[in-house]
Amino acid sequence: MAMAYRMMERYDESLEVSKQALHLNPDDLYAHLSLAVTYGLLDREAEAREAAAEVLRIDPYFFDRIFCKDIPNQGSGRQKALD
């Protein structure tokens, strides 16, 4: 639902749905990821970084699997995600 709101540029609703999901499950990786993306789209960098850090707390290799899986010798995506 958060993604649908984001695609319609209804960012406040996207944030609210993601926060509601986190209220039910504080370790919901995709809710934290949704917050990171939405905050990024809103140029709220500090909040986006905080949400991305939560993604990494839950799954330290998330960004490696998503962004670096097909690129040989590219190092860790963990640091790149927070740079």
CATH for the stretch 2-82 = 1.25.40.10
- Domain positions in the chain: 2-82
> Cα(first)–Cα(last) distance of the chain, in Å?
28
User: How many whole angstroms separate alpha carbon 4 and alpha carbon 64?
Assistant: 26
| pLDDT tens digits for range 7-22 | 999 999 999 999 999 9
| Distance (Å) of CA 24 to CA 28, 44, 75 | 9, 24, 35
pLDDT tens for each residue of 8-57 = 999 999 999 999 999 999 999 999 999 999 999 999 999 999 999 999 99
